[in-house]
Structure 1
Amino acid sequence: MAKHDVWKGESHGGVPCDAFAGGYDHGEKIYVGRAFFEGGLIPGKVVPANGTAYIPWGCKENAVCSYEVLCGKGKYDWVPTTITREVPSNAVIGGYSEGDRDTLYICRVVTKDGHHAIGKVHHRCENSFVPYDGVELCNDVFEILVRL
């Protein structure tokens, strides 16, 4: 991925001290993460309190024990976008999809109950897909993570 971004391997809820916090889920701080899953490198959320990361794939919220965490406090921010906009040039590449290996960017959605969910958006900026409450939610209004 981009050489500007630092990803550190972790597992079982571990988070580096310089990890980028992506928001809050049920009152707990969550972090931007990614994991190898079903042939892709898929962005998602790390929830230390649960000891796992969650990856959106196959219409489910998939728990994974080994993952990477994005590091760099103060180096990133969230930019509102929708499916009608292009991916910003400074968007953070979070991984790639299985099969065709399309570029995946990191997105965030505020759920109906006010929590954050972090997931993936394809390079075509069509819809975002985030893991939340056991399922993979599809949203057409979301934020993309950008490098400052």
Structure 2
Amino acid sequence: MDPKLDNRPYFGFPPPPMPDIYFAPVPVLPPYPHPGLDAPSADFVEVLDPPPIDWVPATPSTAYTLASRAFITGREGWDKSPLWTIRVHRDENLIPGKLAISHGTAYIPFNGKEVSVQEFEVLCAASDVLEWVSTSNDQIPEHALPAGNTHIGEPLYVGRVKHRGSLTPGKVHPSHGCCYISFGGSEIAYKRYEILCEVPQ
């Protein structure tokens, strides 16, 4: 009888050949890290809280979706509607400007003009992480929020001024010693202004 098929003990030498059967090891998977909970399904999506300060891409027609997150930086003089701060890439610069969300119009102060823009990033922030600080000329507070830069890498900041009944946000250009706003088709400079700063932790 073939020894491989014989169930009786075998005491001879050499031992009979063994069947050509290979048992692969079974991997041991680590347990799901939350005992008592089932593993997430394939369509599980983790919802994260937004960062305290963020710049979110938008257009005049989509920006309204950010109403709960956008940081209001000014008011229109004629109807008191809110103005938001935006920033835009233009000719290798990243330039802060304004969005009149109620009217769907956005502008940046650039090369002496008020330039209309259609694609931008909206400043979104919690109300308690930013504050306005009065300053003038090229005096930039330590915690000023960088919001853009010139084509040579100089940082630009968010500023605002009162102009013709409007509280208008714009850009602070330190080497020019002023805050520029866009208004009525022009870029207008102010030596005294408020600058947006992060609240020290």
TM-score greater than 0.5 by the shorter chain: yes
Q: TM-score, normalised by structure 1?
A: 0.88
Checking the alignment, whether the CA contact within 8 Å between 1:60 and 1:135 is kept in structure 2 is yes
- Cα distance, 1:58–1:122 mapped onto 2, change above 3 Å: same
The separation in 2 between residues aligned to 1:80 and 1:33, in whole angstroms, is: 21
Give the root-mean-square deviation of aligned CA atoms.
1.7
Checking the alignment, whether the CA contact within 8 Å between 2:53 and 2:126 is kept in structure 1 is no
Q: Are 2:183 and 1:110 aligned?
A: no
Partner of 1:55: 108
Of structures 1 and 2, the larger Rg is shown by: 2
Q: TM-score, normalised by structure 2?
A: 0.66
Partner of 2:69: 18
Q: Amino acid of the residue matched to residue 115 of structure 1?
A: S
Q: Are 2:136 and 1:82 aligned?
A: yes
The separation in 1 between residues aligned to 2:168 and 2:115, in whole angstroms, is: 13
The separation in 1 between residues aligned to 2:116 and 2:108, in whole angstroms, is: 6
Runs of 4+ in 1 over 3 A off after TM superposition: none
Residue among 15, 35, 42 paired with 2:88: 35
Partner of 2:14: none
1:42 to partner: Cα distance: 0.2
- Cα distance, 1:125–1:81 mapped onto 2, change above 3 Å: farther
Q: Amino acid of the residue matched to residue 122 of structure 1?
A: H
Identity over aligned pairs, percent = 30
Higher RCO (Cα < 8 Å, 6 or more apart):
1
1:122-137 mapped onto 2 (5 Å cutoff): 122-124=173-175, 126-137=177-188
1:118 to partner: Cα distance: 1.1
Q: Are 2:54 and 1:6 aligned?
A: yes
Ranges in structure 2 where 5+ consecutive residues have no aligned partner: 1-50
Partner of 1:101: 153
